[in-house]
Amino acid sequence: TMIDITERKQAEENLLSNARRLHLAASAGEVGIWDWDIVNDQLIWDETMYSLYGIEKDDFDGAYHAWSSTLHPADRQFTEDEIQAALRGEREYGPEFRVVRPDGTVRVMKATSQTIRDSNGRPVRMIGTNIDITERKQTEDELLKLNTELEAKVVQRTAELEAANQQLYQLSLFDELAGLYNRRGFLIRASEQLQLARWKKHDLLMFYADLDGLKQINDRLGHAAGDEALQAAANALNESFRTSDINARLGGDEFIVLALKAGGQEAQALMDRLHNCLSVKNLAMSVGVVVVDLEKQESIDAMIDRADQAMYAEKQGRRDRRKS
């Protein structure tokens, strides 16, 4: 009996202490205090609670259902589950939930509470507070919305920057006038294909071509005509070689092609095809071709130099033949 009285007294003292703290908190702001006698299903509200819920005191019968009926339908089950969890001793009751006032206004409440138990551990009373956090939640939602919009803009801007960087990268690899790789693009792609050819033992041919008469075209007809001639020469390369081959304009009137999976036996046929295509366009090129020696660790630049020398040898041979 002594133990039961001591536990009850302790519970009453805790309740009194909690009530004092709650009243102090309520005096500092819009904090509503509630006290639920679980055994008798009697719910007592202070004046602030009525104000928070927009309910007249005479319209509140002081029972649990009178409060639960104010809950937003979407939050009712969750909120009641939290009460049951508190009654079972799993955790203290302290959810955020929405209530619907009699005028239809929806407000968001934050609850806190403590559960008082008897000597057998049965819940007999809950005392707690409600705070209206509607404005805070609206601010949080607005911040979340702004943050989401900002993140979307960042994602969009990042994608735009990546696309712009990719475009810049592509521009750095291609000759805008000819629509072919430039020197940098050729060196990158040719290096990749050279490694692959060495691994798979594929033959490679390198063609070095110089557009004949470009200076005369520019001098007589203007640079616009010269640009058209360069574009026509680039088209001839595209038409003469496969799409897998690497065609590039090195600069000025100089072009280069790395023909993949092609050896010395295909060199003349490819050369003839190019010259035929050029003649249809009323153009001519001096072209040199070399077989890439995959056994030698020759650099791309060294291969270009060899192909360039072959082109000049072919050009000089034509001049010598015309003289004779």
Q: Tell which CATH classification among 3.40.50.880, 1.20.140.10, 3.30.450.20, 3.40.50.720 matches the domain 2-133.
A: 3.30.450.20
The count of other CB atoms within 10 Å of the CB of residue 171 is 12
pLDDT of the residue at 308: 95
Rounded-to-integer distance, Cα 141 and Cα 133, Å: 12
What are the tokens at 25? 């908190």
* CATH no. for 172-323: 3.30.70.270
* pTM recorded for the entire structure: 0.54
Which residues of the chain fall below pLDDT 70? 1-29, 320, 323-324
Cα 147 versus chain centre, distance = 15
Q: What sign for the dihedral angle of Cα 272, 277, 279, 283?
A: negative
Q: 55-75 pLDDT, tens per residue? A: 998 888 888 899 999 999 999
Angle between helices 183-200 and 134-173 (to 10 degrees): 80
- Where are the domains positioned within the chain? 2-133, 172-323
CA torsion, ordered 69, 75, 77, 80, to nearest 10 deg: -70
pLDDT of the residue at 16: 52
